Structure 1
Amino acid sequence: MKQNLLSKSLGYLPGQHDWKREIAAGLISYFSVVYIVMVNASILSDAGMPLQAAMVGTLLTSIAGCLLMAFLGKSPIIVVPGMGINAFFTYTLVHSMKLSWQEALAVVAVAGLLFAIVAFTSLYKQISEAIPHNLQHGISVGIGLFLTFIGLQKSGIVIAHQTTFVTIGHFSDPNVITACVTLLLALVLFVRKVKGDLLISILVGTALAYILGGVHPAAAKIEGKPLEQYGEIFAKLSFYPGILTISFWIAVFLLLLIIVFENIGLIGAQTRMIGRPETFKGSLRALSLSNIGAGLFGSSPTVAAAETTAGIAAGGRSGVSPLVAACLFGATFFFIPLLTYIPDSAIAPILIIIGSLMVQNVKDMNFTDFTEAFPAFLVMVMIPFTYSIVDGMAFGFIAYPAAKLAAGRGKEVKVVMYVITALFLANFVLHAMM
């Protein structure tokens, strides 16, 4: 009786699903995505958050997200903080828009609350349909290029130059050698579809960094107990006085757009892969709630992990898979002190690989219509060139209605798009006056 109740609550259908396959799918999904604990914490630490505390926040956010997906979404989707969105959190909200990381967490929570409203109504359809597909794909491509640039910087493969702004790094540097070898290994493992490819690459890269002398154990160790340190970020959201400013709400609106676009696409594709499109609404709602939790737990926003496809390929069809992943994320707490030994040179290549995957969205873009192509092109290039996702998006979103009006096709632009354009213009004016 209890087993039947559990099966029903997880969307497990006896006769159609297999417990062994579901558990195996959860294991594979976990090992495919566990690298996010180190990589996400590394990016959050650039925002000023303590590294070990950021690891705890990432784990708690992942556990909560996977449990929500298991029991509310009833699908095999794994929920973790998203790559690309974590870059938005650190390098745009904190570095570019000058919010504190506490204010950025408040932005995450508010955006998550609005996402929940969108997900529990039909608004998600209206927002998704109002934004041109070219701009949506352009954002993914631009963020992919941005992540790649960050990875190249963190690895030392690309360094600053006074005249040309950037130049090639020093290949005599042990950290650069480590990054290059790790990148090559990650490429080989990924192409050969080895289970846990990115995790294996990080571990081998870490070992190589110590062998080559790029990092020394004594210097790498970070003192402190993770759970004690975590008290510095748990529920440390700062709403006042930021919530009274225009820039705060612009940040909320832009983050909302990103998480809505990305997750609608990911969840839609993944629920179709398992042949259960009826789980789309529940999965989207579960993910929206997990974003509220992300702000509370001290992490950047969550997404339906692309690595979920590995678990689906292994037979995952129900909520059993994310339940297993949640349990394994819980066990990962015991390894946090060891994870602090992982250097940037082992993490940076993963950012480059993830960036390359996001850039593949370019194949779905329409370049035959210049009024569609040029705004999307601006988004793609201006995100990495301005080192700001917001500013990069602004150029494209402003150019889109301008191009349509110039072509005498202003009616093709939805009212929502004109509102978004006005917000971007207001943001530029606001910064000019500061």
Structure 2
Amino acid sequence: MLADLKNLTKQAKKTELISGLTGFFAISYIIIVNPLILADAHIPATLSVFATIFSSALGCLIMGLFANAPIIITPGMGVNAFFTYTLVVGMHLNWQQAIAISIISSVLYMVVAFSKASEKLSEAIPQELKIGITAGIGLFLVTLGLEKAKLIQQGGSRALLAVGHLTDPEALLALFGLALTLVLYLKRTKGSFMIGIVVTSALGVIFNVGLQDPPKVSLVDLGKYSTILFQGDFSSIFSLKFLLAVFSMSMILIFESMGILEGLLPDTKKFKKTFEASSVATFCSGFLGTSPTVAAAESAAGIESGGKTGLMALVSGAMFILSLFFIPLLSYVPQAAIAPVIIITGAIMMQQLKALDFDDFSEWFPAFLIIVLIPLTGSISVGLAFGFAAYPLVKFAAHKTDKLNPLLCLLSLLFILQLICEAVLL
């Protein structure tokens, strides 16, 4: 990594710096949101905010130095919900047991990542499913961005979603930011995403729109952080409930990470190293007192800004550490400033759809399930499960079994088992 860094031109380093900043601001909400979700698992938010920052910074450091890839690592949205609302609230485990489940699952994740299994799994996945994963994550980002922009909201009895209040100052600010960022991007302006975030944030501060209350976090609380370190409770390791939870968590970590990395990496040759780095970061996160880390889908914002190397990840990691001292300043970056970048990034990822064969329904339908179910359920793993489960079925029905392989059929079965296990756990 260090040797590669020396070979970068001054302009390339500047691009990586801007990409790292863009990626960080796109995912910075995790510093506040993750502790709030984990609070429902009875992990004090004033302490888990440190766990979120340290696990993200460490993950980015590992990703940058070991894999030299432009991927930001943070506690995963969706994974943290599974940790809190399935393991703790639904199954009545304590958060220490949920941490133990995360640690064991991450060990299984590392076994897959550092063996030939990771490459064989990647090779076994058909191109159309990989396209579906990329487009599905893209559509997920679009819906997330629209929600942050307050351009959509939860619908009533007749619709899942409805148009937001377009007279809302935050929605108007987001529309301005979207128009500005889109024009800059189409004109191929260097740092278009970062410029959009800065200008929109400045307008938000001037007109007092979309500013959040600064989180009540003090570095004084850092002294108490040790109380949530190394707290995994393995006393129920051989119970059926514990083992089912480990299976489901392992499936989520392995295949959600694989799906995100397949969809994001600009250089697919880095997949193996990146997958390994992600697994190590996930393993460390449990000991740091938070739900598992994964590759952040919002890394796409930095990649679309030109990020190609691990320097982007290192810059984002450094920003996580700096945020320890400037957490209140994040309140001056409104969601309306971040949303346009997320929306445009998602739309760019959905361009992969052009590579699908829409005339072959047996190829299109499994990808379609992934694309629609990821944003509709808010879970990448659920979208993957339905898409992979459907693939062998449609190929058998279409008499195209030559497209199947034993490993893919095994994956399909495992995803079906995952859905059954999650239904039982809930």
TM-score for both structures, normalised by structure 2: 0.77
Q: 2:73 is matched with which residue?
A: 81
| 1:262 counterpart = 2:260 | yes
| 1:183 counterpart = 2:159 | no
> Does the aligned pair in 2 maintain the 1:65–1:79 contact within 8 Å?
no
C-alpha displacement of 1:57: 4.4
> Does the aligned pair in 2 maintain the 1:80–1:302 contact within 8 Å?
yes
Q: Distance in 2 between matches of 1:54 and 1:200?
A: 31
Letter in 1 for 2:160: F
C-alpha displacement of 1:252: 1.8
Q: 2:34 is matched with which residue?
A: 44
Task: Indicate how the Cα distance of structure 1 residues 257 and 325 shifts in structure 2: closer, same or farther if over 3 A, else same.
Answer: closer
C-alpha displacement of 1:116: 3.0
Q: 1:417 is matched with which residue?
A: 408
Report matched runs for 1:250-399 at 5 Å.
250-263=248-261, 266-267=264-265, 269-270=266-267, 282=273, 284-297=275-288, 298=290, 300-302=293-295, 305-306=299-300, 307-308=302-303, 326-327=317-318, 329-399=320-390
C-alpha displacement of 1:338: 0.9
Letter in 1 for 2:31: A
Letter in 1 for 2:183: V
Q: Distance in 2 between matches of 1:370 and 1:201?
A: 40
Q: Which one of the candidate residues 163, 172, 175 is aligned to 1:168?
A: 163
Q: Which one of the candidate residues 182, 190, 197 is aligned to 1:202?
A: 197
> Does the aligned pair in 2 maintain the 1:26–1:323 contact within 8 Å?
no
Q: Distance in 1 between matches of 2:4 and 2:254?
A: 32
Deviations 1:208-233 (A, max 9, x none): 334444446xx712223157268386
Task: Indicate how the Cα distance of structure 1 residues 410 and 104 shifts in structure 2: closer, same or farther if over 3 A, else same.
Answer: farther
Q: Distance in 1 between matches of 2:199 and 2:162?
A: 27
Q: Which one of the candidate residues 60, 65, 86 is aligned to 2:54?
A: 60
Deviations 1:190-246 (A, max 9, x none): 333444443443343334334444446xx7122231572683865566767597142
Q: Which one of the candidate residues 3, 10, 16 is aligned to 1:11?
A: 3
> Does the aligned pair in 2 maintain the 1:41–1:51 contact within 8 Å?
no
Show structure 1 runs of 5+ residues with no match: 1-8, 272-276
Q: Distance in 2 between matches of 1:358 and 1:108?
A: 30
> Does the aligned pair in 1 maintain the 2:132–2:367 contact within 8 Å?
yes
Show structure 2 runs of 5+ residues with no match: none
C-alpha displacement of 1:89: 2.4
**Identity across the alignment (%):** 29
C-alpha displacement of 1:262: 3.3
Q: Distance in 1 between matches of 2:52 and 2:142?
A: 22
Deviations 1:120-148 (A, max 9, x none): 22211111122222122212222222232
Letter in 2 for 1:180: L
C-alpha displacement of 1:301: 1.0
Letter in 1 for 2:386: F
Deviations 1:257-311 (A, max 9, x none): 12124335655x437xxxxx6x765555334323323444436313694435756
